[in-house]
Structure 1
Amino acid sequence: MTDENTPDQLIFQNPVDRFPSITPPKQDQPEPGLDAELKPKADRGEQSYRGTGRLEGRRALITGSDSGIGAAVAIAFAREGADVALSYLPEEEEDAQHVKAVIEECGRRAFLFPGDLTDRDFCAELVGKAVQALGGLDALVNNAGKQIAVEDIADLSDEQVTETFTTNIVAMFRISQAALTHMPAGSTIVNTTSIQAYEPSPHLLDYASTKAAINNFTKGLAQQVAGRGIRVNAVAPGPIWTPLQVSDGQPKDALPEFGKSTPLGRAGQPTELAPAYVFLTSPESSYVLGETLNVNGGMPTP
């Protein structure tokens, strides 16, 4: 008989119930949404992620790092020994301050850079400021994204399409271009794509299209900079419980069933994504380039 803290129970965890199967109530937040107001709360790894020093001394810029997946990645990177520059919208300051505090509790440095990635000038300024604050840059996570559900293409405004593409893929071009001028051999770029790149939901036409573009961008850029010793990869999340879903990212009526159609029968938590980003940033993945690592609860992908 074993107690709740034995090594066996920590290692042999059933993925079906390692995290709870949530039934979120119908709720609405103004875009971009806050983790602080999400019901139920998402697990970003504050208590659950354990580091082993795999990113010791790394200097990372992470976009969309105030909440959700980006926050979980930022916390994991800090637990693994990295200093982190956090990029986020000014409206998300409350969440960003929380993540900064968690990082500093880990004994690592965190720098806050609020701003709008649809602004061309801000993208360049962001990279420059991050390099100055961190003392260099050798890891970039392009994670920021915009997702607004629209049921009928007739109601999909030109403004929304433009903002979604600018946020999700154009900003990725701009930030990567600026970052690569500072990145030495051994650096890494990890982009956030989605299951939507393979299985587009009818109500997410613009969002899903950008995610397919990110897959292509990742594979092309990986080949271009491989000779410089810089690796580029991507992570494709499935249904992950974040503020993106309640700030018009999903139809409100669909929220209670969010993620239940996966083979595991539940939505994922942001902290479950973090190890994929850590792996692709660490030297352990030195022969992995142009890959999209799917973390989606078992949903089949090409």
Structure 2
Amino acid sequence: MSICQLLGIEYPIFQGAMARIATHKIAGPVSEAGGLGIIGGGGMSRDDLREEIRLVREFTDKPFGVNLMLQMPNCDELVDVIIEEKVPVVTTGAGSPARYIPALKAAGVKIIPVVASVRHAVKMESLGVDAVVAEGQEAGGHIGSTSTMALLPQVVDAVKIPVLGAGGVGDGRSVAAMYALGAQGIQVGTLFLMAEECSIPASYQQRIMDANDTDTIVTGREAKDPVRSLSNTMLRKFAELEEANAPHEELEKLTVGSLSRAVYDGDMETGSAMAGEIAGLLKEVLPAKVLIERLFSEAEAVAKQLTIKY
């Protein structure tokens, strides 16, 4: 069964659960356009999540999902809301969803963890999840240590459930590449930052449009919590201090509130504006529907033109 058949969606594309960004404002339009819009549950209260779910349903009657950041202390409450509100799909990150799988399965919820290693993918399959998203380190936000090109085919070979690819998708060429590596679909985050419906400030979108191929930076590797963002003064300073083994307290002073400064205030110098390496390819803001349709029409054209010469 294809991922589209499994979830009842038209296009095999998930919108990434970007922290503080993935609300009904982008999830609703993505689902209405035929993809799977996803509400990022991280940082939300029980009431916040319930409101977001209902706002998505006011916008569209098509399938959508909720992402659970499993390190959140109120995950139990969020799972209760997901079940009560009959959310059709849950994606997960930052841990194992094992303790929640029986209740979610009993409620008919499809469970799709985001994984960064073959070992994790195999473990998730053994727990009975419905599919996995294999995300390479090209992606924005929290990342693993293996590139998509290396990770994806190894995950595909290791499991029998559907696999979606994530990290590095910016146009039809990269979609075709994901399929060539064995994916049944894709998850996209950075590209949807360029959707007209995305709620980030104009300065954030402009910073992406101004980016080049080397304009992201990874911080937090020393703490084993790497995050990819658009490079700026604050993050370069953080990287210098991290390399010099500065105390945690000194590093925390720099970054406390930095995600909010980027997402809500549009501060591109002292904020953490998460984005993937593909940012250097993105040069215009378009409706989510146009972004999705263009991705797949380009991918089909690329696939038709592919030839191997030797």
TM-score (norm 2): 0.37
Q: Which structure ranks higher in relative contact order (CA pairs < 8 Å, sequence separation ≥ 6)?
A: 1
TM-score (norm 1): 0.38
